[in-house]
Chains A and B, each alone.
Chain A
Amino acid sequence: MTVLSILSVVLIVLGLFFFLIGTIGILRLPDFYTRLHAAGKCDSLASVLVICGVALYSLQPFTLANLLVSIKLLLIAVFVFIASPTATHAITEAALVLGVKPWTRGKKKRS
């Protein structure tokens, strides 16, 4: 177990924790917009953490091919970090235009 392995294990476990939190939020929250909030966090933060962990682990025997793989992984992380909020924004715009009402405390609670 080198230092890079321990760091990548920490990053992957943290990412899986945020995936778990996001999934619980998608299942349990009462409204479409709040579920969208949980899904946005789960998408961007957790996948970037896991991808950075995999990129650190793939750097292990330091050769040029492994460095190329690691740079590609960082490219995926940057793309996910840009694209996931854009997709969330598009879904939110569709919901606002279609007239999905936000949940307030006074209404009856949906299952």
Chain B
Amino acid sequence: MHSFFLISSILLVLLMGLSLIRTVLGPTILDRILGGNVIGTKTTVLLLLIGLLYENLSMFVDIALAYALLNFIATLGAAKFFLRRLAVYFEKGEMEEGS
């Protein structure tokens, strides 16, 4: 059972690396926010699997709950921030080339 959790954690880290590609070379800023949100959700799951690996799940559950809350607030805040900012700075060009 230990090796199964280890293998699934390694697979999850590889998937996070694949999501990081979209975060780095996403054409618009909203793509980067989306990639960060997905990586944060995967981190919440990864923390639970790490807690199972260390046989100390009762501590890592609280960390995962705090991380899920923080990820939600960060995504919402970033979306609202760029909604205000980009409407001022980029009128057309930056967003048109992404489509």
- Select from chain A the residue with minimum beta-carbon distance to B84: A94
| Total number of A residues with any Cβ neighbor in B under 8 Å | 54
Q: Which residues of A contact B44 (CB under 8 A)?
A: 47, 76, 80
Q: Which residues of A contact B98 (CB under 8 A)?
A: 32, 100, 110
Interface residues of A in 36-91 (CB under 8 A from B): 36, 39, 42-43, 46-47, 50-51, 54, 57-58, 65, 68-69, 72-73, 75-76, 79-80, 83-84, 86-88, 90-91
Q: In the complex, A36 Cα to B38 Cα: how many Å?
A: 10
A80's contact among B34, B58, B68, B86, by CB below 8 Å, is which? B68
Q: Which residues of A contact B34 (CB under 8 A)?
A: 26, 32, 35-36, 39, 91
Q: Given A5-B1, A94-B79: A26 and B22 within 8 A (CB)?
A: yes
Q: Which residues of A contact B18 (CB under 8 A)?
A: 23, 26-27
* Contacting pair A90 B61 (CB below 8 A): no
* Contacting pair B42 A19 (CB below 8 A): yes
Q: A102 at the A/B interface (Cβ < 8 Å)? A: yes
Min Cβ gap B15→A in Å is 5
Q: In the complex, A88 Cα to B75 Cα: how many Å?
A: 9
B15's contact among A23, A43, A57, A99, by CB below 8 Å, is which? A23
Q: Which residues of B contact A94 (CB under 8 A)?
A: 30, 79-80, 82-83
Min Cβ gap B91→A in Å is 9
Q: Given A26-B38, A91-B34: A101 and B61 within 8 A (CB)?
A: no
Additional A-B contacts beyond A72-B61, A72-B62, A91-B79 (19; CB < 8 A) = A19-B45, A23-B38, A26-B19, A43-B38, A47-B41, A65-B58, A76-B65, A79-B72, A84-B41, A91-B33, A93-B79, A95-B28, A97-B83, A97-B87, A98-B82, A98-B90, A99-B92, A99-B95, A100-B28
Using a CB–CB cutoff of 8 Å, the interface residues on chain A facing chain B are 5, 9, 12-13, 15-16, 19-20, 22-23, 26-27, 31-32, 35-36, 39, 42-43, 46-47, 50-51, 54, 57-58, 65, 68-69, 72-73, 75-76, 79-80, 83-84, 86-88, 90-91, 93-95, 97-103, 107, 110
